[in-house]
Structure 1
Amino acid sequence: MRRLWITCLGVGVCGSWLACTPAEIKPTTGGPEPGTLPSSSGVRVLDRVRVGFNPIGVAVTPDGQFVYTADSTSQTVTKVSTATRRAVSTIQLNVHPVWLAVAPLHGWLCVTARDEHNLTLLDLTGNYVVASLDLPYNPEQVIVNREETLAYISNHNAPFITVVDLQHRNVAQNLSVGGTGQGLALTLDGKALLMTLQNEQFNFIAVSTVDQAVLGRTNAGSAPTTIVLDPAGVYAYVANQNSNDVSIVHLPTVHTVVTFPVGRSPVDMKISPSGKYLFVSLKGDNRMAVVDTVSRQVVQTVDLDITPWGLGLAPDGKTAYVADYDVRSVYQEAFNASQPNMTLGNSATRRVDNNALLVISTEIFP
């Protein structure tokens, strides 16, 4: 097996890359059992933004000015201003979008539509369709390489990763990965594609983007969905929907270091710019959890009274955006990572006509 080495600026968490081993993270015991999470503290819902029906994917622009939602039932993409917390435009697609990725150099939003075997490229400024590409399979998640020459797409019920040439706007390759893909990520140097596979014994795989050689395989939890990397690019965090936990994979050795509980059915996840916190949407608990990456404990949660799905994070890490798959809303959370034990006032939630209305504390952070 070839070893996968990651390069980045500065000194890694191990001090020396050659000395970097899985032992650098020491497993701990404890943590919340699924469904018994601590109550909200330091996290509060700020607002509800009306978007299209049944939003799934969420994407935030690199400048943090806009958030996009993939509105699967209404067949639209909604563009939301983060300054006003209001939808500023709705783009009709006539396909059922699921996941999103921003390509800022092109000024595009990449949108997958599973039912229609489609990838749509939207112009971020003009809010119009640049191109609509037919794909061979049912696409799921999409990511774009740093040069924005290629898009990688996982496929539902197909053991291939579809590679799209963004310059020529066509399918360049269907990469066989031996199982149905779901989560995708690229290493910081772009030399390895990381993916999760469904119903496979070794369900986390690293593949060379140069020659498509398998660099390593390991086992995460059950039904892994989303992959995020720590800022140094040494560890990958994998959300496991069916086993209600998150796995940490050491990338230089492609080895699972530890798996810890976070709550029921984690489906999407982002990491703070400092790498100190994970933000996890918990579909089974109707909550968003904040996880300390050092202790691997859930330190804060917020009750959403919705079915959360896609999760986006502002570039400064101060605001999260969670799509509710059941109603026409995107909920916005704010937190103060420097005061993880801050408590909020009383809050209440209720549902009205298949929409969500949150009545929350007006207490603000200092």
Structure 2
Amino acid sequence: MSSLYGIYNFFILKRSEMLKTFSKISLMCLALSVAELVYSSADNTVVDQIAMPSETWGIAVTPNGQYVYAANNANNTVSVIQTSDNAITSNITVGASPYGVAVTPDGNFVYVANSGNNTVSVIQTSDNTVVGSPIAVGASPTWIIINDAGTLAYVVNSAAATVSVIDTSNNTVVQTITGTGNTCSCVLSPDGSYLYVINYSGVLTPYAISGDGLTYTAGIALDLSLSLGNTNGGQMVFALDSSKLYVTGYEQNTGVYNIYVVDTTNLDTPSSPGIVNQGSTNPSRPFGIVISSDGTTGYIANLSNNEILIMDVATDTLTGTVNNNSFNLGNPRMVAFVPNSPYLYSTAQSSNISQTYTFITILPPATITGVSQSNVFFTQTDYINTISWTAPESGSTPVSYNVYRDAGLTVLAGTVSANGSLVFYDHNRIPGTTYTYYVTSVDADDAESSAISVSVLTVKNN
């Protein structure tokens, strides 16, 4: 099913990799006609399309992965999309020109930045009603994020050149960060110790968070010399190890669009940013950006080229694009993962996509242990090595696990279903011998992970 240019749609792509929202990207720096897209990182293929009430901007996903909240900028509503069947279950009236949305970590509330009347609305997810009075913030609130504790919301006021800090316990503004310039977006470091703010000129400033969480000390600013007005990027996401920050943008000096890599390991002497290797791709207004939950892969909305770029995080290289599967992909803007599910959603405007790339991530078990015991039955003794493990915390959902006796993964000892106890019993072992076991995860596409291993000394008969 395809759509004409300018029709607002919601696209969905199946993703067999379990993901969680890390970047908390929930809104954008300028309103345009958009649609919502969902991509699969297993086969990166569009599989569905949903009509939206109007142009749609920010998106946020509840922690349980059951609902997506999408801000409809043109008709002052937020749509609630049920991820099980992608049906719109509610359209909630909020403030004027809703832009960005963010969900609290407990999933109980959704905060919406209303760029048209300088307020923030709060939606109670239990009944999808707006609670309390609109929270007054600065001029043209766009970007909004919430800390991992769920105690503070940060609202970027682009026209006021400030960031409002909201105490979520009473929904009042308790701090206003000034001196940021015409602020484009912000992001928290993974450990929550720094708030990074970037303005439309590409000046990136880290603010150290201290005391009661309401003291913000500006660090040394890094001038990326970007022009981030309108739709020229300015979206940011951290690598999972916190060592680098990715920034999408348009460089003033060269007139080239890039994804920039900022080293965040030494804030006292910041170094010039690196640039992601474009490979055979052509970034043209790269915008929203997210990192997969295993930290290996980035997805970037390539606004003008009507495609989603795929980035290898280890090498900072663009490796390809998502397959549109004959859907009208079109001018993607923002991207957000659904936790613990096979789906990735992205806002976009109707257009086309021209390239394809396939990527599968299946992770090994998170932990593994091994013990040995012996069972005596009459005159016979069975020496048993018991291997147990836990499921991977992210990545594609395993359907089974393979247990091998060798590092080359050629001697299969057995297979264990993911639906039962994650335990393997190896009977009739030789006492006094050390055995090493290698366990891999296998997903529904028969993709197999690398192995996690454990060595067990078989107990001797007493």
TMscore range, shorter length: 0.7 to 0.9
Report if aligned partners of 2:65, 2:341 keep a CA contact under 8 Å in 1: no
Distance of 2:57 and 2:89 partners within structure 1? 19
Aligned pair 1:142/2:158, yes or no?
no
TM value normalised by structure 2: 0.59
* Match in the other structure for 1:356: none
Go from structure 1 to structure 2 and tell me whether the alpha carbon gap of 1:318 and 1:54 turns closer, same or farther (over 3 Å shift): same
Q: Which amino acid aligns with 1:188?
A: P
Distance of 2:357 and 2:115 partners within structure 1? 32
- Deviations 1:233-259 (Å, cap 9, x if unpaired)? 222111115642111112221434411
Deviation at 1:146, TM superposition (A): 1.9
Aligned pair 1:259/2:275, yes or no?
yes
Deviation at 1:121, TM superposition (A): 0.7
Report if aligned partners of 2:288, 2:335 keep a CA contact under 8 Å in 1: yes
Go from structure 1 to structure 2 and tell me whether the alpha carbon gap of 1:365 and 1:96 turns closer, same or farther (over 3 Å shift): farther
- Between the two proteins, the alignment pairs up a number of residues equal to 296
Distance of 2:283 and 2:248 partners within structure 1? 10
Report if aligned partners of 1:55, 1:325 keep a CA contact under 8 Å in 2: no
Deviation at 1:221, TM superposition (A): 5.9
Report if aligned partners of 1:221, 1:246 keep a CA contact under 8 Å in 2: no
Distance of 1:325 and 1:95 partners within structure 2? 21
Distance of 1:270 and 1:317 partners within structure 2? 16
Report if aligned partners of 1:266, 1:280 keep a CA contact under 8 Å in 2: yes
Rg larger for: 2
Deviation at 1:300, TM superposition (A): 2.8
Distance of 1:167 and 1:60 partners within structure 2? 21
Aligned pair 1:269/2:278, yes or no?
no
* Match in the other structure for 2:170: 168
- Deviations 1:133-169 (Å, cap 9, x if unpaired)? 1223211101111222211111122221111122221
Deviation at 1:318, TM superposition (A): 3.9
Distance of 1:276 and 1:221 partners within structure 2? 28
* Match in the other structure for 1:204: 204
Report if aligned partners of 2:329, 2:349 keep a CA contact under 8 Å in 1: no
Distance of 1:294 and 1:154 partners within structure 2? 31
TM value normalised by structure 1: 0.74
Aligned pair 1:239/2:248, yes or no?
yes
**What is the 5 A alignment of 1:121-136?**
121-131=122-132, 132-136=134-138
Structure 1 unmatched runs, 5+: 1-39, 328-332, 340-363
Aligned pair 1:216/2:225, yes or no?
no
Instruction: Select the structure with the greater relative contact order (CA < 8 A; seq sep ≥ 6).
Output: 1
Q: Percent identity?
A: 20
Deviation at 1:118, TM superposition (A): 1.0
Deviation at 1:292, TM superposition (A): 0.9
- Deviations 1:193-230 (Å, cap 9, x if unpaired)? 11111125xx1110112232112322336225211111
Report if aligned partners of 1:312, 1:321 keep a CA contact under 8 Å in 2: yes
Go from structure 1 to structure 2 and tell me whether the alpha carbon gap of 1:71 and 1:168 turns closer, same or farther (over 3 Å shift): same
Report if aligned partners of 2:201, 2:225 keep a CA contact under 8 Å in 1: no
Structure 1 stretch 130-139 or stretch 75-84: which is displaced more?
130-139
Aligned pair 1:226/2:235, yes or no?
yes
Distance of 2:87 and 2:170 partners within structure 1? 35
Distance of 1:315 and 1:219 partners within structure 2? 34
Q: Which amino acid aligns with 1:311?
A: V
Aligned pair 1:308/2:332, yes or no?
yes
Q: Which amino acid aligns with 1:216?
A: I
